[in-house]
Structure 1
């Protein structure tokens, strides 16, 4: 353990030194460090995710939302990267700028407007600047805006091509040309089929430039090339607009990707960017302001930026643990959604929250079928859900067949959506059927004991080191809350809840040690745990409410948490803030993200010292620590409440803005 702590400290110090070269403001993060370690920051719009890198015009990949293929023949599903039509090879006097000496290199993430700007001087010949956006107003499209200033006379050439990832059969490409209202549009379309399950993906891209300039264009099946001679001091500006569409979202993705770039050309860059900015301003109505700690402010806003980037209202889709940044966890949907990422969205953006819960409602048939397959009634949600809503967990992992608390987690999330919105129509049309079938599952899953209590045996805990155990505290507590929610929903919908729901909720076992400490499961002996489990009974479940009981559970489990994912510390921080200990809460709060940051932008990985970014689950935990911990907000049957809580001494004020349907602001000061 001592060696681990030393290595972790070295990793944190190295990362901190690298990020010290970055400049942070409330809304911008910039870096001038071109050296390792480096990890790019994702630009996403809820439909696609674009991952730029440090090299000039480098785009590592484009991720698609909920478009899946098998990872191998007869393998489990894995989210697909898209064809990448954002490839730009820019050459000065015949030499690619990536191969030239670079100076004055700067990258800046503008979170308010969701763009990444890169500037540099290439070979002392040209000053180049380019902005990358995943257009919020066009969820399958992105744009790169490029400005080049000639420092000396030069010949500029630009090639746009498309890269096809290994997950596809060889791609085909075609050069296309049309004239719309006297506007000539030359563009390329590339298309390919995923290797194992046959998903079809099409990408179209167009280069836009001022037709009044003497630009030579040669658009072929292989590339779209433009070139121009520039005199010293002259500027040349162009835009690359590209769209990636799949047959998951469109019957005809081939022509749709064309339509989208044609639309963008005729709409014009000014209107596209203006609408993109307006939609991001609308998102930022839900925001968090921390006075007195610029570093925490930047970290929290970066977390919000990512969750907003990875989701959309009205999409009826959810957020995987790595969002749209990578293929991490195969892009599947876990409990990470309902327990970690969904609660901040429920407070700050009910449209996104509704999409996340509707994702589960749309997949009730798959959950019914899983329950049937395993001998239960109602719905049994998969531990890892792909777009079909069936179990997509690797067969070597016992979490798939045995980590059942996810079904209760989803029921609680549905009830909380009603509590936040008071949308009785939604509850009757959408929420009630889910809650009813969740309750039916648990009545078939529990076992009655001789003393008329109820147990749930042979589960994997939220602490996934514990497999095949009985009466896991979190699982049983979540079942209690889900059943209580189903009873209340039945009453509101004019339905009669079976009496067994209340009986199980009142008599389900929650293990304890002799001193009253919550016992993680029957027979738990104090061994190391992967992540918070029993502590979740205080928050978010609200079952353990006595302050001394909460404090005793915190003191017992904090030293037993292994170097697992970051969320545990956010939950512990939240509870200490509610207990009135702002300094202890802050100590744990920074542990939930600082050791996990990766230079130069400070994006977070799942584990300290790793580079598996961006871990959206950890972002959700961090945001809950501020919203529900330091600011004290909570959701109850009566709506939003604000509980007593404490700030660290150096924080002057926390304000959570745009909360709930009425967009209220809540503040906590000393």
Structure 2
């Protein structure tokens, strides 16, 4: 009997030991950790709220960069408008017993991003004296405001001097620094404020921050303001801590430009005061609630924790880079820095928009609103090039005028962007079935872009309404004729315009159908779709012909889709990540879920860079965060393994098959009805 009890206890011990070990090794689906920080091999991760982007740094109490959506000016890079870095208004310094904390005198630095709450946290030890933990977030409920929370744990009796530092990047000029104390019976607020002009003086940028102390009014630490130089000033306080004592405080800050507000200086200070008087707890609770609402639209993968974490990271970044109620879209690098000058490309309309539309139509509406507000600029662009209707620019910024650097041929020739915008507008209507919106905004986009294509084709006889001299979706193919994707996208644009006209009660131009029916899609003698007229099998930068099967749904025959896949997949070079996501989706829809799963991994894993596995544009690249790749990867999950399909009547589900590694796929909060779709083995 004693042996039996002993055996039972051993089994119980082994059972719980095993499950404890599994719990210790399981990947948390919401937290990305970096326990080893190497500044020489570090690519920051971004917290953002659709307006402010804050990029992490390996240096203690520091952020790498702050980007403000909509703040463009002409400077240095390609002689076109560029998005700008703005004030580093969240940086801090910390002195402990008279010694400045630096990367050289700290240890055990750890960083993490909680994607569920959109909070970045870093911690480190300062010698044997203190452990410091700080976290920051771009508050989701307040578009121009961020919050930093700091906790200092004293291991010995110490004196600390924390300081909030306001610093202007070199590109800003005419910096003015201000310090203001607002003393009221219920609160004392010290404002550290700066303004500066953009490089040409076009914009005024203003930032302001203040401390939020835990002490009662009248018992707060005394704050000292210090001027360092023209582009930097700070405010600091002293605190004596006993061994074992914790002390926490916060910094709330706001930043705006005159592109966002006619009076950025006063607005930045007012918003900072507003945040301070709400207090840390209320700010955090509202921020968490806003993100909880976003995450009601989620993708849950059972059986593959690594894929789950990667999918959540892609969703987190797209959610972070866009905001409902604005007219801003997403650049290829989102709000993670100055990549691609912050311009808007087809990446937004074809690669990011569909996933956002299916999960959060209200977020997607901001992206299509961006295009609608710049429709007149597209009409001017068409007129300048001798065409009718609206010709959207390949690169767009604040005004909607062409912003492609002159040396890049994509500016005057990558015309498929016009159809990409129109298709996004039609898809927005399909998902929302918002007929008043279609009549007011969607149909004008579709009509004017259809008129563009009717004037753009060369009418060389039946079946030969050619579209010559374009840059293909495969951008290694410049100044080619009858590119497959361009032609099929134009046909789709024209046919969508006809359908939209019928819904809003307008009379479609009969020529739209004539043109659509006569634009050619070329083929090789063996039936493979030909990328362009003079194409003979050369390597390609990225998927082009394969896009006719998805997202255009122009080619629907399974045998044709497979034939094109087999031909073009081995010809794709080291181009951007999204090619493999669309190949994954097409193999899934063709019934080969394991091949699809392999390509799904290839769409992101080779592009991950340390320490947070943020996505670079290409395998081995060093330019994260590539939001376009995230959009493509999510379409592979939603529209491939999840089987979702945007149809003229809304979102429907095909009959997908899961890869062996996945036990179940659940997609929640889909479309305007916020439906749940489940795929089981």
Choose the corresponding residue for 1:131, options 106, 123, 135.
Answer: 135
Q: Quote how far apart the aligned CAs of 1:73 are.
A: 9.3
State yes or no: 1:96 paired with 2:100.
yes
Instruction: Name the counterpart of 1:199.
Output: 203
Choose the corresponding residue for 2:125, options 99, 103, 121.
Answer: 121
More displaced stretch, 220-229 vs 44-53: 220-229
State yes or no: 1:39 paired with 2:50.
no
Q: Could you say what secondary structure the match of 1:216 adopts?
A: coil
Q: TM-score, normalised by structure 1?
A: 0.95
- 4+ runs of 1 displaced by more than 6 Å? none
Q: Distance in 1 between matches of 2:587 and 2:625?
A: 27
Contact 1:23 1:31 (C-alpha < 8 Å) held by counterparts: no
Instruction: Name the counterpart of 2:20.
Output: none
More displaced stretch, 602-611 vs 303-312: 602-611
Instruction: Name the counterpart of 2:193.
Output: 189
Q: Distance in 1 between matches of 2:77 and 2:567?
A: 47
State yes or no: 1:175 paired with 2:186.
no
Instruction: Name the counterpart of 1:612.
Output: 623
Choose the corresponding residue for 2:533, options 509, 522, 531.
Answer: 522
Question: How many residue pairs were aligned?
Answer: 650
Contact 1:22 1:600 (C-alpha < 8 Å) held by counterparts: no
Contact 2:395 2:404 (C-alpha < 8 Å) held by counterparts: yes
The residue correspondences of 1:578-597 to structure 2 (distance < 5 A) are 578-597=589-608
Q: Could you say what secondary structure the match of 2:580 adopts?
A: helix
Instruction: Name the counterpart of 2:634.
Output: 623
Contact 2:483 2:531 (C-alpha < 8 Å) held by counterparts: yes
Task: Show CA shifts across 1:88-138 (max 9, x none).
Answer: 001101111115532332212100000011122111101111111110011
Instruction: Name the counterpart of 2:224.
Output: 218
The residue correspondences of 1:312-327 to structure 2 (distance < 5 A) are 312-327=323-338
State yes or no: 1:30 paired with 2:38.
no
Q: Distance in 2 between matches of 1:405 and 1:176?
A: 53
More displaced stretch, 353-362 vs 189-198: 189-198
Choose the corresponding residue for 2:669, options 631, 635, 658.
Answer: 658
Instruction: Name the counterpart of 1:266.
Output: 277
Q: Could you say what secondary structure the match of 1:147 adopts?
A: strand
Choose the corresponding residue for 2:487, options 459, 469, 476.
Answer: 476
Q: Quote how far apart the aligned CAs of 1:509 are.
A: 0.2
Q: Could you say what secondary structure the match of 2:238 adopts?
A: strand
Q: Distance in 2 between matches of 1:22 and 1:161?
A: 39
More displaced stretch, 644-653 vs 390-399: 644-653
Q: Distance in 2 between matches of 1:29 and 1:208?
A: 28
Contact 2:116 2:291 (C-alpha < 8 Å) held by counterparts: yes
More displaced stretch, 524-533 vs 187-196: 187-196
Q: TM-score, normalised by structure 2?
A: 0.94
Provide structure 2 residue ranges, at least 5 long, that are not aligned to the other structure: 1-23, 228-232
Contact 2:463 2:519 (C-alpha < 8 Å) held by counterparts: no
Provide structure 1 residue ranges, at least 5 long, that are not aligned to the other structure: 1-20
The residue correspondences of 1:203-282 to structure 2 (distance < 5 A) are 203-212=207-216, 215-221=221-227, 222-282=233-293
Q: Quote how far apart the aligned CAs of 1:60 are.
A: 0.7
Q: Quote how far apart the aligned CAs of 1:69 are.
A: 1.0
Contact 2:390 2:451 (C-alpha < 8 Å) held by counterparts: yes
Contact 1:22 1:30 (C-alpha < 8 Å) held by counterparts: no
Residues 539 and 143 of structure 1: CA distance in aligned 2, closer, same or farther (over 3 Å)? same
Q: Distance in 1 between matches of 2:47 and 2:25?
A: 19
Instruction: Name the counterpart of 1:150.
Output: 154
Residues 138 and 540 of structure 1: CA distance in aligned 2, closer, same or farther (over 3 Å)? same
Q: Distance in 2 between matches of 1:465 and 1:149?
A: 56
State yes or no: 1:412 paired with 2:423.
yes
Task: Show CA shifts across 1:458-513 (max 9, x none).
Answer: 00000000011111000000011111110011001111111110111122100111
Q: Distance in 2 between matches of 1:180 and 1:560?
A: 69
State yes or no: 1:111 paired with 2:122.
no
Q: Could you say what secondary structure the match of 1:171 adopts?
A: strand
Contact 2:645 2:652 (C-alpha < 8 Å) held by counterparts: yes
Q: Quote how far apart the aligned CAs of 1:290 are.
A: 0.8
Contact 1:187 1:219 (C-alpha < 8 Å) held by counterparts: no
Q: Quote how far apart the aligned CAs of 1:68 are.
A: 0.4
Q: Distance in 2 between matches of 1:591 and 1:332?
A: 26
Q: Distance in 2 between matches of 1:607 and 1:217?
A: 48
Q: Quote how far apart the aligned CAs of 1:410 are.
A: 0.7
Q: Distance in 1 between matches of 2:78 and 2:334?
A: 25
Contact 1:316 1:359 (C-alpha < 8 Å) held by counterparts: yes
The residue correspondences of 1:341-360 to structure 2 (distance < 5 A) are 341-360=352-371
Contact 2:72 2:84 (C-alpha < 8 Å) held by counterparts: yes
State yes or no: 1:434 paired with 2:445.
yes
Contact 2:86 2:172 (C-alpha < 8 Å) held by counterparts: no
The residue correspondences of 1:335-346 to structure 2 (distance < 5 A) are 335-346=346-357
Contact 1:73 1:196 (C-alpha < 8 Å) held by counterparts: no
Q: Could you say what secondary structure the match of 1:245 adopts?
A: strand
Q: Distance in 1 between matches of 2:625 and 2:238?
A: 37
Instruction: Name the counterpart of 1:15.
Output: none
Choose the corresponding residue for 1:465, options 476, 497, 512.
Answer: 476
